[in-house]
Amino acid sequence: MKLTDRVALVTGASRGIGRATALALAQEGATVAVNYRAGKDAANEVVAAIEEAGGRAAAFGADVSVHEEAQALVREVIATFGDLHILVNNAGIAKDNLIYNMDPGDWLEVMKVNFGGTFNCTKSVLDHFMVTRDGVIVNVSSVMGERGWTGESNYAASKGAVDAFTRSSAIELARFGIRVNAVLPGFAPTDLVAELSEGEVAKHMKRQIPMRRFATVEEVAAAIRFLAGPDATYLTGVLLNVDGGGMAGLGLGRLKW
């Protein structure tokens, strides 16, 4: 297994892409810290699934949008497992609305979680990664960070910030042996895009994707696992689309309003 003796921290790992990523990393032998903010029971279910398969994992509660909690999370993971090699910044939220109708608080909260959590956890692992010169960071962004979509301005802005941060941090941290990349999922059936994943809306969206289907969370997790592992040692600053070709010709997205 390619990640044996590696310790990975996955934020927002109690559901969706985070859950699939935690399971995928564990399948390759990694010890996994399963972070959650509110879904303690769901996080414990992920841990139980990993342990039942013969892996090693533990759940860690923290709101990564708060810098002090992100710092404490990283310290606790290292204290528990003795090391840390992989950080997957996955925690995210969505509060979709038209700009005209959007509450300023919703814009700020999305930015604080989606980009702020990425910044906070990245900064928090640097003391350890820079000393060991053995760290990998994978940020979970979105195709929304590269293209516009109606009703997604705050979410798209937060993911655009993650993309820019990925490139800049990759440049800064390469000299310390730290790789930083991002995956940009297209539409995958998660809670964040539940309204877009079924019915006539889903049919319309699939027609805009060359592969004519949505991604599965397992397919996104496989891309994250690749970037985190030894087969990607010369990749840094990469924004990897996992979108079935959707970025080649995404439409205007006039589906909800």
Q: Enumerate the active-site residues.
A: 155
Q: What is the pLDDT of residue 68?
A: 98
Cα–Cα nearest to 186, from 133, 151, 227, 147: 147
pLDDT per position as a tens digit, 28-42? 999 999 999 999 999
Q: Is 181 helix (H, G, I), strand (E, B) or coil?
A: strand
Cα–Cα nearest to 11, from 60, 76, 66, 81: 60
Angle 153-173/104-114 helices, nearest 10 degrees? 30
Q: What is the pLDDT of residue 105?
A: 93
Q: In the chain, which ranges are continuous DSSP H helix?
A: 16-27, 40-52, 67-81, 104-114, 116-132, 153-173, 199-207, 217-228
Cα–Cα nearest to 154, from 190, 186, 113, 117: 113
Are 136 and 179 contacting, i.e. CB atoms less than 8 angstroms apart?
yes
pTM of the model: 0.91
Given a cut of 70, the residues of the chain with pLDDT beneath it are 190-204, 206-207, 211, 249-257
Are 36 and 63 contacting, i.e. CB atoms less than 8 angstroms apart?
no
Q: What is the pLDDT of residue 251?
A: 53
Q: What is the pLDDT of residue 227?
A: 98
Domains, the chain: 7-248 (3.40.50.720)
Q: What is the pLDDT of residue 252?
A: 46
Instruction: Return the amino acid letter for 40.
Output: K
Q: What is the pLDDT of residue 206?
A: 67
Q: What is the pLDDT of residue 195?
A: 58
pLDDT per position as a tens digit, 168-187? 999 999 999 999 999 999 87
Q: How far is 185 from 239, CA to CA, in rounded Å?
A: 10
pLDDT per position as a tens digit, 224-255? 999 999 999 999 999 999 987 777 764 545 44
Q: What is the pLDDT of residue 184?
A: 96
